[in-house]
Structure 1
């Protein structure tokens, strides 16, 4: 395995769906104020296309102070709160209003510290496979919050960035499925296959057996 290379603006200058697939296998790195480094491999993503995508925060060109990062250059962090208490982390892509949600990581470095961050709200021990297997779990484990990380340019930030260590995810390993938790009011967008995950990973948040079976047929 080669030495990790930090991803640049050129690497992330991608359309949303293409970026969601490209990010699989890449490393998310978080450097804390203490100097501790947390690292995990991205194994699940979702793309939100903006525009006509009714499941997007920016559907029909909606622009607010809250979703502003999705209109900033590709590689901008968009962190928002859900259910009034949890955070989700997205990365803007080239299309105005579009971004990729990171749904799950394989923890690689700083695992014990990640567990401490998670168990602040969850009593008891956690398996590694349960540590970052969901967008809000990922944010808790990596200490990603709106006040610390929103609007960061992750190609230049010294506290949050992406790396490539050469571990490629090939097309036959990638499952395409519908996104999680999309309201039926989104119509056809609730079923559009815009979620992507590594079929062999035990760290994925939710599996789609039908879509997995389609990989082998």
Structure 2
């Protein structure tokens, strides 16, 4: 994806990356997943956002970068969460990637997540392998070493196509049935907890 793609406002970007491929490369491995769930955080006036009240700290600096930069933060002291800066520089909107669907390298994803082969997983484990922000970060080995880097880099990027095991280009679909709901786990955000800024496809 080109840089201008990520300069949309947070809501538009959260919708636009649904159905696109989140691709992770490390140690000569390539993992392809499809983005199926996102949330928008709309900057300094959004009580659910880390930058509410224009709180610019060392932690939130990546959000003030131009759209398309990675912001990884830790929750509960142990789970990483992947976000992308949206809009233009110094407009700190972002998108939280909440869920992805594994497409390739299922064993690699399974080993990262559960330390066993994909064929050994229970139905429950398969269903829950990457359906949450902390889960997908563990499955794709995403951590704070990627913080502030471009989502158009070599290690982690978003694309509208990937190459299958036969070398054929597989493109994302343009027509999607996007559903909306309230964002998850932000009960502290007063009226902002009711904004319908969570987006997902089934």
Distance 1:120 1:85 in 2: 17
Where does residue 114 of structure 1 map in the other structure? 109
| Deviation for aligned residue 1:179 | 0.3
Distance 2:174 2:182 in 1: 20
Where does residue 199 of structure 2 map in the other structure? 196
Alignment of 1:67-86 (within 5 A): 67-86=60-79
Where does residue 160 of structure 1 map in the other structure? 156
Where does residue 20 of structure 1 map in the other structure? 14
**Contact 2:21–2:172 (Cα < 8 Å) also in 1:** no
Where does residue 144 of structure 2 map in the other structure? 146
**Contact 1:106–1:129 (Cα < 8 Å) also in 2:** no
Alignment of 1:1-217 (within 5 A): 7-32=1-26, 34-94=27-87, 96-120=91-115, 125=121, 127-147=125-145, 149-155=146-152, 157-165=153-161, 166-170=171-175, 173-183=177-187, 185-198=188-201, 201=202
- SS at the partner of 1:18? helix
- The normalised TM-score by structure 1 is 0.82
**Contact 1:55–1:182 (Cα < 8 Å) also in 2:** yes
| Deviation for aligned residue 1:154 | 1.3
| Deviation for aligned residue 1:120 | 4.5
Count of matched residue positions in the alignment of Structure 1 and Structure 2: 186
Distance 1:154 1:63 in 2: 21
- The normalised TM-score by structure 2 is 0.87
| Deviation for aligned residue 1:75 | 0.3
**Contact 1:107–1:128 (Cα < 8 Å) also in 2:** no
Alignment RMSD (CA, Å): 1.6
**Contact 2:37–2:99 (Cα < 8 Å) also in 1:** yes
- SS at the partner of 1:12? helix
Gaps in structure 1 of 5+ consecutive residues: 1-6, 202-217
| Deviation for aligned residue 1:128 | 3.3
Distance 2:175 2:190 in 1: 31
Distance 1:128 1:162 in 2: 23
Gaps in structure 2 of 5+ consecutive residues: 162-170
1:63/1:161 CA distance change after superposition, 3 Å: same
* Poorly superposed stretches of 4+, deviation over 2 Å: 124-129, 165-171
Distance 2:144 2:131 in 1: 20
